[in-house]
Amino acid sequence: MLRELYHETIIDHGRNPRHFGVLPEANHIKEGFNPLCGDKIKLFVDEHNGVIRAVAFDGSGCAISMASASLMAEHLKGKTLKEAQAIFDLFHLLIMKGELTVAQQTQLGKLRVLSGVCEFPARVKCATLAWHTLNALLLKDQSTVSTE
Amino acid sequence: MTAFNYKADFPILQQRVHGKPLVFLDSGVTSQKPRCVLDALTQHYSTDYSNVHRGIYQLSERATAAFEATRKKVSQMINAAHPHEIIFTSGTTESINLMASCFGRAHFKAGDEVILSVMEHHSNIVPWQVLQEQMGIKIKVIPINDKGELDLVVYKKLFSPQTKLVSIIHVSNVLGTVNPLQEIIEIAHAHQVPVLVDGAQAFPRMRVDVRALDCDFYTFSAHKAYGPTGVGILYGKAHLLEAMPPYKTGGAMIETVSFEKTTFTKIPYKFEAGTPNIADVVAFSSALHYMENIGIDNITRHEQVLHDYAIEKLKSVNGLKILGNAKNRLGVISFVMDGVHPHDIGTILDREGIAVRAGHHCAMPLMTHFNIPACVRISFGIYNTKEDVDVLVSALTVVQEVFA
């Protein structure tokens, strides 16, 4: 079970997150923070005509939070805002319940590696920080994002 | 001393977690309870329970006697001059809030100063910040050196004619540093400034003698000292408590009430409005007796042996860095590991049956000082053994394997 949570891909993405760093051309920026554990993220999204051209993030946190942000950034590149919302809902289902249909699993692609989180309820907020930050960003929520 | 197995006294420690024996290394956050405390709780509710200080019937007399016996016991254990210098609160946090509100209103005005330290727990920072906002007081902060010891040279310079209180932690809940209270208090008293001590991590582990220390106020929590939750102690020198107005008012703390004028009763009841946490206060007596039967000095010895053993073993783990290395340390040990976030360490240790704490430990300014978002913290209780430390160190190699 531990190996499922700390899947090779997660360790890899946690250690060497993709799309890490400031995105100068971003037209949406939002911060997310989990005060109880110290995961911090700053999300940069370059969006044009309802299409996500690029996502990047800056921050520090546990392997789960960083890997989740990294995999999210990879996955959402080129997706429409509508598609991103659908993936957000599906991802939430994955880490809360862990059971998805084959079709749903295919939609999530590499994000599936985070399915192990459902066995570790205390870590759900780590896995969802980047996603909740993105959600708030796209819904233009002004309040501080936290998954606490 | 460590030949004695106290683990058997604690029912909750007999279980397995994820198929492994539970190794509880988070007594710094709260301690587990020996059977005698659990029995005392049930016993009280089954035979003596009633409201206290109010009834004229048998049950009430017995409940009141049991309640006041705890007050007397605490007073005795910390060598207070009199039981009425012991106030029951809901915990250390409430005690400090009480001080900020009541001592604050009695003695502070805009521009007055309180001295804290960078290693304080949030409960000894935020209430003073509230006073800062409400009343315009100033907060001055004692820094630490790179060993995690208070810089007393700077401390001496922080005093001014506006300083009204020093509020300081006895044993750090992150660094384990045991602060030189005698010296700190002497310096404050030389400036006619009283001292409040946060003894939450200290009381469960060492002898506290408030008159030898000559501290003006001392606070700790029952739940960290093998007692139930919801009970805190605030000790204060009688004349100082008498000069403070209460903040929590209503029943039990009055002499007479009329719509024209209400008068308050004497200490300690002045600060104990409403129905107290009766059964838990009563059961706390059993925890205190349990500690005394083992012997406070024996408890300190037990803790020191484990503490030193753990430091030695942890130092041998590659890539592990212990926070602070004060000359005098006891209680908690906090550390970070290269390339692995504390949260991840905590999850992996949990899977090995080991309970540790990972986070900022309610000491964000201290985390900022060390430039880390969080760290892992272990702490001991009377039920821990050297084997527990060995299990921990072995599990840390699992952490390294996962993140290799």
> Which candidate in B18, B341, B366, B402 is best for mutational testing of the A interface (most A CBs within 10 A)?
B341
Residue A93 has pLDDT above 50, yes or no: yes
Chain B residues within an 8 Å CB radius of A122: 347
Contact A38 B339 (CB under 8 A): no
pLDDT band (50, 70, 90) for residue A5: confident
* Residues of B engaging A, defined by a Cβ cutoff of 8 Å: 339-344, 347-348, 351, 358-360, 367, 373-374, 402-403
What is the band of A97 on the pLDDT scale with cuts at 50, 70, 90? confident
Best probe of the B interface among A3, A4, A6, by most B CBs < 10 A, is A6
End-to-end CA distance of chain A: 24
Enzyme catalytic residues of B: 362
Q: Is the pLDDT of residue A143 over 80?
A: no
Does position A146 have pLDDT exceeding 80, yes or no?
no
Confidence bin at A105 (pLDDT 50/70/90): confident
Q: In this structure, are residues A95 and A78 in contact, taking their beta carbons and an 8 Å threshold? A: no
Taking an 8 Å cut-off on Cβ atoms, the answer to whether B348 and A2 are in contact is yes
How is residue B80 written in tokens? 């207070």
pLDDT in tens, A122-137: 899 999 999 999 988 8
> In degrees rounded to 5, what are phi and psi of residue B349?
-65, -40
pLDDT exceeds cutoff 50 at B32:
yes
Yes or no, beta carbons of A37 and B367 under 8 Å apart: no
pLDDT at residue B91 greater than cutoff 90: yes
Q: What is the pLDDT of residue B90?
A: 98
Q: What is the pLDDT of residues B162-188, one digit of tens each?
A: 999 999 999 999 999 999 999 999 999
d(Cα B164, Cα B112) in Å, to the nearest integer? 7
Nearest residue, CB atoms, A37 vs list B348, B359, B403? B359
- Identify all chain B residues contacting A127, using CB atoms and an 8 Å cutoff: none
Backbone φ and ψ for B263, nearest 5 degrees, come out as -120, 150
Contact residues on chain A for B341, CB-CB shorter than 8 A: 61-63
Most confident of A85-89, B68-72, B337-341: B68-72
Distance CA A16, CA A73 (A): 13
Please provide the average confidence, as pLDDT, over all residues in chain B. Answer: 96
CB proximity list for A76: less than 8 A, separation 6 or greater: A52, A55, A84, A87, A134
- pLDDT of amino acid B1: 41
Residue B3 pLDDT more than 60? no
pLDDT digits (tens, 9 = 90+) for B95-113: 999 999 999 999 999 999 9
Which residues make Cβ contacts (< 8 Å) with residue B278, sequence separation at least 6?
Answer: B44, B49, B51, B52, B63, B67
Confidence check: pLDDT of B87 > 70: yes
Contacts 24+ apart (CB under 8 A), B382-385: B382/B6, B382/B226, B382/B291, B382/B294, B382/B299, B382/B302, B383/B6, B383/B7, B383/B9, B383/B10, B383/B13, B383/B24, B383/B32, B384/B23, B384/B24, B384/B25, B384/B27, B384/B306, B385/B2, B385/B5, B385/B7, B385/B306
Span B281-286, average pLDDT = 98
Residue B75 clears pLDDT 50, i.e. is over it: yes
| Shortest CA gap A13–chain B (Å) | 12
Chain B nearest-CA residue for A13: B403
Residues of A with CB under 8 A from a CB of B: 1-3, 5-6, 11, 15, 35-40, 60-64, 120, 122-123, 126
Does the distance separating the beta carbons of B374 and A37 come in below 8 Å? yes
Mean of the pLDDT values across residues A105-116?
Answer: 90
Which chain B residue is nearest to residue A66, measuring alpha carbons?
A: B341
Subunit contact A2:B351, Cβ cutoff 8 A: yes
- Cα(B288)–Cα(B163) distance, integer angstroms: 36
Give ∠ CA B298-B299-B301 in degrees, rounded to 5.
60
Average pLDDT on A134-144 reads 75
Q: Chain A interface, mutation test: which of B347, B377, B399, most A Cβ atoms within 10 Å?
A: B347
What pLDDT was estimated at residue B2?
A: 47
What ipTM does this complex have?
0.87
pLDDT at residue number A140:
66
Residues B356-382: b if buried by 16+ CB within 10 A, e if exposed: bbbbbbbbbebbebbebbbbbbbbbbb
pLDDT digits (tens, 9 = 90+) for B377-393: 999 999 999 999 999 99
Q: Which of B344, B368, B370 is the best mutation test for A, with the most CBs of A within 10 A?
A: B344
Q: Give me the total of CB pairs closer than 8 Å, taking one residue from chain A and one from chain B.
A: 53
**What residues contact residue A58 under an 8 Å CB cut-off, 6+ apart?**
A20, A21, A22, A41, A42, A44
Both tokens of B398, joined, read 């699992």
Contact between A38 and B360 using a beta-carbon 8 Å cutoff: yes
**DSSP secondary structure string for all residues of chain A:** -HHHHT-HHHHHHHHS-TTBS--TT-SEEEEEEETTTTEEEEEEEEEETTEEEEEEEEEE--HHHHHHHHHHHHHHTT-BHHHHHHHHHHHHHHHHH----HHHHHHHGGGGGGGGGGG-GGGHHHHHHHHHHHHHHHTT--SPB---
Averaged pLDDT, A50-77: 94
B chain contacts of residue A5, beta-carbon cutoff 8 Å: 347
Interface contact B359-A36, CB threshold 8 A: yes
Q: Which residue of A has its CA nearest to B18?
A: A1
